[in-house]
Chains A and B, each alone.
Chain A
Amino acid sequence: MHRILANAWADMAAGYARRRVWITLATEDIGDQHRRTTLGPLWLLINYFAFAATFIFVFAPAPSAQFAIYVATGLLVWNYMNDSISQAVTLFEREQSFIRGTNLPLSAYVMRVTLQNVIRGLYAVFGCAVILVFAQVNITPAWLWAGLGLVIILVCSPAVVALFGFLGVFFPDSQFIVTNLMRVAMFATPLFWTHEGEGGLRGALYYWNPFTYFLDMVRQPIVDGTVHWSSFAFSIVFTLVVWALAVLMLGAYRKKVALIV
């Protein structure tokens, strides 16, 4: 166990020491993905608006400013979590040229994709802010809790990326399974539907879905100025567990990935 923890620590320390590499790669990735387009990364903002508008105008029980705020904040968090998981599962396969040709630590690849997702998320933050202004949202001190919720999500995401990265290496079918599950999860998560305490399938999807609690940490304080402490408690415990698993996987398998990808 000591050796596994020392390995994981060595990998993460090397990842921090080489931070200029993954910062440079991540910022270039965003530019490269839109290199031939006229609007460039603005497409990220347009994508966000397209999704938000669809949910707000098509799925709203009755169009309201409150529902627009609910969808805009939920979609911001969902897009980040969805990008993190979907991209992670093929991460080490995509990076095989660097993994087999350089001695960069695995944490550098994890941070590269995490930072990419943060940059994408910042475009969505701008889009979300625009919708909140149009919906005439009230800014309350509870927003600080939403900010804390975002920090918890950011802290959790590198560990999630690492875990799904290992899953993709050792179980190649997982990339298709995860892609399909995430499509289903978008509908199974209270993103454009609300839960009013009813039971049945909707109630089960609400309570047994970990995404619910991460969304709720950020969304609830902005929507009506209240805080659900249970969402914070769940998300913090979930984050600690995921980090513990990620550290164990990194320590045990970091040098095995180059022999497999």
Chain B
Amino acid sequence: MDVLNGLLHGFAVALQPTNLFWCFVGCFLGTVVGILPGLGPAATIALLLPLTFKMDPAGGIIMLAGIYYGAKYGGSTTSILLNIPGESSSVVTCIDGHAMAKNGRAGPALGIAAIASFVAGTFGILALTLLAPPVASFALQFSSPEYFALMCLGLALVVLLSGPSLIKGLMSLFLGLWLTSIGTDLFSAQARFVFGQSELLGGMDFVVVAIGVFAIAEVLASIDGGEKARMLPVPKGVRNLLPSWEELKACRFAFINGSVTGFIIGVLPGAGSAISSFIAYGIEKAFSKHPEKFGHGVPEGVAAPEGANNSDSGGALVPLLTLGIPGGGTTAIMLSALVLWGVRPGPLLMTESPDVFWGLVASMYIGNVVLLILNLPMVPVFAQILRMPVHVLFPVILGISLVGAYGVGGRLFDVGLLVGFGLLGYTMVKLKYPTAPLILGFVLGDAMERALRQSLTMSQGDLGILVRGWISATMLACAVLILLLPLLGRFNKARVQAIAEGG
């Protein structure tokens, strides 16, 4: 069946009233799950799984997929409004999204997040429709050295996330590397840095660390600011609640960047949507005409990572649907759902169950439209949250953070960790250490160590394996280039100064 026929068949399936209904239900639930920390898409799908046994597989997968990509749409809401990253993929959105909210541009930030999600999400599905088989074989070329290079590329972004003091940024990054290695080592079952606490054997969850270091620290720093801790400005009028034409124009490149970066990284089973959003943000800043404004609320800083993590959903379905390989927790449970319904996910899925494959693909085009329609009208409503007086808003942020941390595994231990990380984050803010590199190190450090050790195990200690493939060599070269950027910048500044003085 060729693509066009397949897609037409898919729309015939997806446009059946019942399937349309399930698509809507999935998207709606996904949005809710994404907005509220403490609820993850994987857990929600697991919870709803028994209800889907009576549905036909196409309807079931359409609904579950709606939860999956809908959650990423909703994920930006708490990041932008409250600086609480609800999902790992929306951490980067906090940086410029919350800064925009503090500048009174919460509505536009939410709007841009929704539009970027729509554009990039649709691009991801388009790429899934047209390119799935060749892209899947590209993904399989990625071995450990390539993953190592990808993680290095990601970690090199520290240069762009550090602010004025690179050395403090690096120290924050290394603190993140250390935190992520707490727990049981996969290769040797050695417990590392657990202080005899069996709760730490499983390592710390990313959400707990990020909420502590971002949201709690932000609240404490604002309270410290005292007089300055007034209500966040929410200008009146619809005009100020939706993005302006200039803001959208500024995001042109970010939409493309997020779409492409998110899809490519999403296809790789060993990467994750957090990585794609970090890299898209890094690319955006590296190529920006005004990189110094990043972190102070630029719309591109929201559009790029939000786009990336939605395009990522389309990418992640490529190995799942063409090879039967799940890339992460949520796709893993979708895979097992297919098995439980009696569909056989694997290399033959596309030909043996065209209803499921093409029905799902077509439903995702519809789902993205549904999500845009669901989300845009909510923007003004959500922006009103910031009208709450600060003395109510701050306790509510702390409360949502507590729920989010507890929701990770239902352990009070995580709540304790959250308290600790809140203090750490506040201390870092006070001493002007940037916190984003810590999260970057925490997200990528573990994967980087693993990829390096896998590579060296494969090559029996020969470091040459890291640069032998063209993919890894190219990415490592890019990483080095990025690391050299500050030197270039200094050189450039000196040059400009010299010219100015000379003239």
Chain B associates with chain A: no
- Which B residues contact A (CB, under 8 angstroms)? none
